[in-house]
Amino acid sequence: MNQEWFIRPYQSDDRDAVFRIAGDTAFFGSPIEAYMEDRRLFLDAYYGYYTDYAPEHAWVAVANGHVIGFLVGSIDPKKYRKTMVFRIIPTIIKRLGQGEYRIGPKARRYLHEIALAFVRREIPEADESVYPSHLHVNVDAHWRGCGIGKGLLMTYLDHLRRLGVPGVHLQTTNLNRVACYLYERLGFSLLGARKTRMWQWILKEEVENRCYGLQL
Ligand SMILES: CC(C)(COP(=O)(O)OP(=O)(O)OC[C@H]1O[C@@H](n2cnc3c(N)ncnc32)[C@H](O)[C@@H]1OP(=O)(O)O)[C@@H](O)C(=O)NCCC(=O)NCCS
């Protein structure tokens, strides 16, 4: 395999590749099909905003002409929330109504568990006045450990500094071990950590939801 790779700004043609990697890494670095039969529901809900409404804050890593990793982000929490409420969620509800997503027993259980996790307040949050930006970063399994995740994060942090954004946060879990190591290595602080029961139906290990933040 040619080990040469580089990072460039996201282009609309990268959308399918970004969605593929997002789906292939959504279960603690493994494919989402562990907890959802039809990945399109997850991808539309979690990633549609970044590719379709904030593409100027997205970056991809490329090797041999293929996207092998990405970082997507938001710098404006109000725009993010407004777009989720008035664009993304209504589109998903419409598609659900039209039977476009296959909702099997795994997806039903996941949606039930995530709703309970919210009710039980198992998801730590950041103060958005201090850390208005957030991000998601994922690298194709074949390309991990080559410096790509670090390169994507450093590119995004430079981008935020140029824009004068005061801080950035992200959500992860203790099981995303390399990710936690990398965030701490880049100076992020743990803002909150809460044990969650939401994965008990599928994982033996105890999971802790974590929120990391960095002031720029
Ligand atoms: C987390 C992730 C984005 C990191 O990207 P990456 O390209 O694999 O990481 P890098 O090669 O840039 O390495 C970053 C640091 O982690 C270390 N590292 C990488 N892989 C490692 C491993 N398997 N074990 C221990 N350390 C590791 C590197 O040595 C480097 O540390 P250094 O700067 O001290 O040398 C990537 O591994 C990934 O997509 N993982 C699965 C999905 C995920 O967890 N995403 C984040 C969700 S919040």
Ligand 1 center to 144 CA (angstroms): 6
Nearest CA owner, ligand 1 atom 10: 147
Question: Ligand 1, from 3, 152, 178: best to mutate by most atoms within 8 Å of Cβ?
Answer: 178
Residue 169: CATH number of its domain: 3.40.630.30
Residue 51 sits at φ, ψ, to 5 deg, of -75, -35
Confirm whether 1 is domain-assigned. no
> Which range of residues forms the domain containing residue 115?
6-215
> Which atom of ligand 1 is nearest the CA belonging to 177?
44
pLDDT digits over 11-27, tens only? 999 999 999 999 999 99
CA 23 to chain centre: 10
Q: How many CB atoms lie within 10 A of CB 165?
A: 18
Confirm whether 58 is domain-assigned. yes
Ligand 1 center to 212 CA (angstroms): 16
User: What residue type is assigned to position 99 of the chain?
Assistant: G
Query: Tokens representing 136?
Result: 């998601």
User: What is each CA distance from 147 to 24, 69, 110, 186, in whole angstroms?
Assistant: 19, 11, 32, 13
pLDDT for 1 equals 52
pLDDT digits over 26-50, tens only? 999 999 999 999 999 999 999 999 9
Nearest CA owner, ligand 1 atom 41: 29
For residues 179-197, average pLDDT: 98
Confirm whether 163 is domain-assigned. yes
Ligand 1 center to 111 CA (angstroms): 28
pLDDT for 2 equals 54
- Of the pLDDT bands very low, low, confident and very high (cuts 50, 70, 90), residue 3 is confident
Confirm whether 196 is domain-assigned. yes
Mean of the per-residue pLDDT values of the chain: 97
What's the domain count of the chain? 1
Ligand 1 center to 118 CA (angstroms): 28
Question: Ligand 1, from 59, 60, 71, 144: best to mutate by most atoms within 8 Å of Cβ?
Answer: 144
8-16-126 Cα angle (round to 5): 70
pLDDT digits over 105-151, tens only? 999 999 999 999 999 999 999 999 999 999 999 999 999 999 999 99
Confirm whether 98 is domain-assigned. yes
Q: What is the DSSP string of the chain?
A: -----EEEE--GGGHHHHHHHHHHTTBTTB-GGGT-S-HHHHHHHHHHHHHHH-GGG-EEEEETTEEEEEEEEES-HHHHHHHIIIIIHHHHHHHHHTT-S---HHHHHHHHHHHHHHHTT-S----TTT--EEEEEEE-GGGTTSSHHHHHHHHHHHHHHHHT--EEEEEEETT-HHHHHHHHHTT-EEEEEEEE-TTTTT-SS-EEEEEEEEE-
pTM of the model: 0.96
Confirm whether 111 is domain-assigned. yes
For residues 193-209, average pLDDT: 96
- Does the beta carbon of 147 sit less than 6 angstroms from any atom of ligand 1? yes
Confirm whether 112 is domain-assigned. yes
Confirm whether 50 is domain-assigned. yes
